[in-house]
Amino acid sequence: MKNNGIGRLFEGIDGWTVLLYAVIVCLGFVFITSASYDDSGAGIFSMSHFYMKQLMWMGIAAGVAIVVLLIDASFYHRWAYFFYIAGIAALLATLMFGREVNGAKAWFELGPIRVQPVEFVKIATALALARVMSTGSFSIDRTGDLFKVGVVLIVPLFIIILQNDTGSGLVLASLLFVLYREGINKWLFIPVLVTIVLFIFSFLFTPMTLLVMLILICTLSEAMMNRQWRSRVIYLASLALGTLLLYFTMFAVVPGRLSLYGCLLIVTLLSLVVVAVYAFRANLRNIYLIMGLFFVSLALIPTTDYIFNSVLKTHQQNRILSFLGIVSDPLGTDYNVNQAKIAIGSGGFFGKGFMNGTQIKYGFVPEKHTDFIFCTAGEEWGFVGSMTVLALFCALIFRLMRMGERQGEPFGRIYCYSVAAFMLFHLLVNIGMTVGLMPVMGIPLPFVSYGGSSLVAFTIMLFIAIRLDATTRTHIARL
């Protein structure tokens, strides 16, 4: 259905979603005003104030939203790949020519304006993912099609990590939720979960403790999947031979001669092959899954040390160690989170009132108008204000998911769920790091945190979903 101009701008628009957006944006402006206002400085309407700059961005975002609604819905499907390629090019240009801010080379400076391309790349990635998965021949159970999805997600993620903006890169991982909704094999999520758990547990337990835990977990999994005594024997034999194989491999390489460990390695390898062939002929193929998970997990344990010491920056290492409680640095790494907790806790049930938050007003909470903006809601509006913010976001995410289910074709559904996944990830991580439940990652709260790139990008992202939904609703209404 074509959109022919202003007369049809609001036709089929989900008014509740637009209202939720407007309320959240206005609350963000109130919080930024309270967090950044300084009556000892320039005049109240001076553009040097963060809230005045945010007001300007709010006007720009409103204009952009109208433009997005005026464009025909088919435009976003047709140009999805172009937007994706342009986004990748912008990320590469930022990596080479961008400005470094807080350790991340992820910003362009255009005079007094800073632009963070990664915020717009999220839109392009969501559109490209929807385009790939909405082709007629696509099947989420086909390896080749999953490979295409992996390329769409991994390419921008890799470049963002090179920019040292790991937090923004992890946002793309939330699109796994979309794949789950579209019916991806649930077993594919197990390696992801195992990797995350092992990465965390490797800081808390010794390698030997992790080995014992892996053996117990894999043995329990095998016992639940196979109830035949023969499968138990084959599994235990595979486990023993596999462990010996790894052990002998570490000592087998001796320059100039074949060592005793080398001979034992060959014998163990041949024995494991015999056991594997027998398991296959006996139709005990679940053993391959369990053993594969076991060996991959063993390989990941030493890998975490390399990633932690060689890939992550010092401040990222400190945040992880602080979050896990391994180190304590109240005046350094822990300072932001501790002050945020104090601010939120001091708000009580109803809060201290607008501009009466002492932790916020006197600068005890760093980044109070950006990443830690939720502290303003907690201190000045208390438990009631904090729950109101959470309720508004939950309602918005619910509306997006409902819009996705309302779509008559995969492109709109996948895109709406992608936006919902981005919103949910930002909400959980931002508020989680504010109250100490997540490591500090520098993730803004959508529509609330100060920042033109974030506000405009999330506005475009949301209103494309609204436009797609409006086209569907209009089409249904005219049938």
Please write the tens of the pLDDT for every residue from 210-235.
Answer: 777 777 776 666 666 656 666 667 77
Q: Rounded to whole angstroms, what are the CA distances from 215 to 52, 95, 240, 301?
A: 59, 43, 10, 14
Could you read off the pLDDT of 303-336 as tens digits, one per residue? 777 777 776 777 677 777 776 666 666 666 667 7
Taking residues 53-78, report their average pLDDT.
92
- Write down the pTM of the prediction: 0.81
* pLDDT value for 135: 85
Chain segment 11-33, per-residue pLDDT in tens = 778 889 999 999 999 999 999 98
pLDDT mean over 459-464 = 96
Quick one: 412 exposed, middle or buried, by C-beta within 10 A (0-12, 13-18, 19+)?
A: buried
Q: What is the mean pLDDT of the chain?
A: 80
Q: Give the burial class of 110: count Cβ atoms within 10 A of its Cβ; 0-12 exposed, 13-18 middle, 19 or more buried.
A: exposed
Q: Give the three-class secondary structure for 333.
A: coil
Packing angle, helices 286-306 and 229-252, rounded to 10: 30
Tens digit of each residue's pLDDT (9 = 90 or more) over 312-321: 777 677 777 7
pLDDT in tens, 338-357: 888 888 888 888 888 887 88
Contacts for 280-287: CB closer than 8 Å, 24+ residues apart:
282/230, 282/231, 282/234, 284/226, 284/228, 284/230, 284/231, 284/234, 286/222, 286/225, 286/226, 286/231, 287/222, 287/226, 287/231, 287/234, 287/235, 287/238
| Residue-wise burial string across 340-354, b where 16 or more C-beta atoms lie within 10 A, e elsewhere | bbebbebbeeebbee
Confidence of residue 81 (pLDDT cuts 50, 70, 90): very high
Tens-digit pLDDT profile for residues 28-50: 999 998 888 776 666 677 777 78
**Cα gap 167→429, rounded to integer Å:** 9
Residues 123-150 have a mean pLDDT of 88
For the residues 288-297, what does the mean pLDDT come to? 71
> Does the structure show a pLDDT above 70 at 471?
yes
- Residue pair 218/293 in contact (Cβ under 8 Å)? The answer is yes
Strands (E) across 188-344 are located at none
Using 50, 70 and 90 to split pLDDT, how confident is the model at 399? very high
Residue 136 has pLDDT above 60, yes or no: yes
| Higher local confidence (pLDDT), 275 or 64 | 64
pLDDT digits (tens, 9 = 90+) for 112-122: 777 888 889 99
Confidence of residue 458 (pLDDT cuts 50, 70, 90): very high
Q: What is the DSSP string of 408-475?
A: SSHHHHHHHHHHHHHHHHHHHHHHHHHTTSS----PPPTTTSS-HHHHHHHHHHHHHHHHHHHHHHHH
Please report how the helices 374-406 and 15-36 are oriented relative to each other, as an axis angle in degrees rounded to 10. 160
pLDDT of 1 above 50: no
Rounded to whole angstroms, the Cα distance separating 466 from 478 reads 18
Tokens of 98: 């961008």
More confident of the two residues 201 and 23: 23
Beta carbons within 10 angstroms of residue 147's beta carbon: 10
Percent of the chain with pLDDT over 70: 80
Q: Is the pLDDT of residue 282 over 70?
A: no
By CB neighbour count within 10 A (0-12 exposed, 13-18 middle, 19+ buried), where does 213 fall? middle
Q: Is the pLDDT of residue 55 over 60?
A: yes
What's the one-letter identity of residue 311?
A: V
What pLDDT does residue 337 have?
80
- Helical spans, DSSP H, in 228-285: 229-252, 260-281
Find the mean pLDDT for residues 88-99. Answer: 87
Per-domain residue ranges of the chain: 1-72+327-413+431-451, 74-184, 206-312
The confidence band for 425, taking pLDDT boundaries of 50, 70 and 90, is very high
